[in-house]
Amino acid sequence: MTAQDRIKDTVATNDVVLYMKGTKSMPQCGFSSRVAGVLNFMGVDYTDVNVLADDEIRQGIKDYSDWPTIPQLYVKGEFVGGCDIITEMTLSGELDTLFAENGVNFDKDAADKIREANS
């Protein structure tokens, strides 16, 4: 199975996937830590894929999305964005809407607290 096939399978079979450096419990870079922190704080059930553990996936995910950086968030098989986009979407409430529209459970109060702390 190629890296592209593995990526397609992962994003197709999991509602929320974060390709990141490290893991959700031990991020290995600030950008991955920020996105994982948002998802963790909001109580989102997501699959984390550590790109540092597999060079084929590390390059493959960049090719798959045509996006040059990691982390990368996928919701219901669709690429959402990287750290800056997820941060903006969190602060604007767009991430709440995306999750709600796709049936992804999250803690709305936690999302509101993030916005409150950053206003």
Please report, as a single letter, which amino acid is at residue 50.
N
Q: How far apart are CA 43 and CA 8, in angstroms?
A: 25
Other Cβ atoms within 10 Å of 23 Cβ, number: 16
**Numbered residues of the known binding site:** 29
**Cis peptide bond upstream of 68, omega within 30:** no
**Numbered residues of the known binding site for [2Fe-2S] cluster:** 29
79-89 core/surface letters (b: 16 or more CB in 10 A; e: else) = bbbbbebbbeb
